[in-house]
Structure formats: C-alpha cells, structure tokens
Amino acid sequence: MVDYIKSCEELKEGESVFPHVFPYRDFTPEFSAHPRINFKKAGYYCFDVGIEIDKDTFTAAKASVDVSMTGAQLIRDGKETRVFSLCRPPGHHAGYDHFGGYCIFNNAAAAAYYLSQKGNVAIVDVDFHHGNGTQGIFYEQSDVLYVSLHGNPDRSYPYFSGFADETGKKLGKGYNINIPLPAGVGDDEYRKYLNGALRKVKKYKPWAVIVSLGLDIFKGDPLSDIGVSSPFFSEIARTFCDLGIPVLGILEGGYDMADLAQNGANFIEAMAQAE
C-alpha cells in the first residue's frame, strides 16, 4: 500500500485517482483480485469513495506521520512530558494495508508502536468517528490499549466497526474498548463517558497515553450529532494531564471551519499550562 501511494507521485499536476472499484481480496486462490495496472487499483487499498490521491499525497501523508513520530520521540527520550502533534492528514481510519476516511497512514498507531518499545501505551480516541484503522492494527496485541469514544456505528461513519462487543482477539482480548455514544451528548454527559474511559486507562497502567483528538465532537461540527462546547476541549486536555504520565496529543478530524482553530488552541493551551 505504501508503495502504491508513493507511486502516485508520477501523476501529472491536477490529475487525481478516485477509488471506484473495490475488489474483494480472496476471490479464489488462483485469482486474489490484486490489480495489475498501477493507477487502476485505488479501490484495492481503500475502503470508501471519500478520498482522492494525487502527486502530493505521499509527501503530505508521510510528513503527517513524521510530525507524530517527532512528538513520540520527544516523549520517549524524556525531553517532554506533554506534546501536541498537529497532524494533517489525520490517520485513525488507516490500517496496515488500507486507507480511507481522509486518512492515508495511521499517525497515532505509528507513534504508539514506537512508544510501546519502552512499555505499555494507551490510545484514547475522542474523534466522533470510530478509529477502525487503529483498532485493527492493535486488535491482537496487549501492549497497546485502545479506547474509543465515538458516535454509535448504528448511525455513524464508518458504520462497520466501533461496536461495544469488539474487545480484541488473541493476546489483545480485553485491550480494545469501544464506547459508542448516543446522539445529543453534551459536556456533562461526555464528561461521564470520558471518566469511564480513563478508569480503564488507569487500570491498565500505561507509561504514556496518546490522545487521538477529534475536534469534530464540537457542537457546531457538521459531521457529528453530539456536541461539546469549545471550553470543554481545555477540560479534556487537563483530564489527560492529570493522569500523571506523559501525554501525546495527535490531531484527527474536525470540520467546523469557523471554530476549528479555537477548539484546537483550547486543548493545546491547557496542555501547556498543566502542572
């Protein structure tokens, strides 16, 4: 998949690839549905039609991963205890071998894998949409706890993952925790759900925590049906800092362009001011 994204650097200026054919991969042992013509295979690695690839996609996506890895390195080396990686494009829908949902490579997963070399790590994903990619990457592992608070997939993208009974497999059994949220959740209700998630984190006792920060839980976001206030992003940051372990914030989604910057600033400033 990485080679495919990089190969799209050969596209001409203004030329794009939109996935429109989605071959199932295990058609027969003889025909595994892998396409044989380079730019015709977008759908093989993608799971939705909401994303395009152009000549600059690889550069942008790799830079986004680099930003998350810089944050992780600062924490692992002990130079910082609170870091925010301002990543674009986001990453939590991207898996080992697929992309979609505006995500190419999984920034949080790359950082978590790097940090897990030092000990157990937790990822708490507060994006409105379930991080199917992050879940899939760590679903059979116990050294990274994944906790996600998101809109119930009965009604919310990506629809096929994020249900409460998805708890992990093999070594990862019990280390994947989904908390689907009902519509209309505001500050008070969200606080209760978040506190419940952090109790799971405390029980796990990670040496560091990654926050996949989705600003689309804001009440004005057009792609969300829950809504916290702008000041509540400060509270979220303080809550994580109060865990007393290193915190790496990584930006995921957010689509209310009028308030996006202020909501992000509220989270970052609260991190910076935490004791």
Measured distance between the N- and C-terminal CA atoms of the chain, rounded to whole angstroms: 42
Amino acid identity for residue 87 in this structure: C
Which residues share a beta bridge with 212?
125, 250
Residue type, 30: E
Q: Alpha carbon of 213 to those of 12, 55, 57, 253: distances in Å?
A: 34, 28, 22, 7
Alpha helices in the chain (DSSP H): 2-7, 42-45, 57-76, 107-116, 132-138, 187-204, 232-241, 260-273
Please confirm, yes or no, whether 93 is among the known catalytic residues: yes
Q: At what angle do helices 57-76 and 107-116 cross, to 10 degrees?
A: 30
Query: CA–CA separation, 101 vs 46, rounded Å?
Result: 9
User: What is the amino acid identity at position 183?
Assistant: A
- Whether residue 122 contacts residue 211, with contact meaning beta carbons closer than 8 Å, is answered with no
C-alpha to C-alpha distances, 77 to 238, 243, 245, nearest whole angstrom: 23, 19, 14
Which residue is catalytic, options 34, 92, 93, 150? 93
Residues belonging to the active site: 93
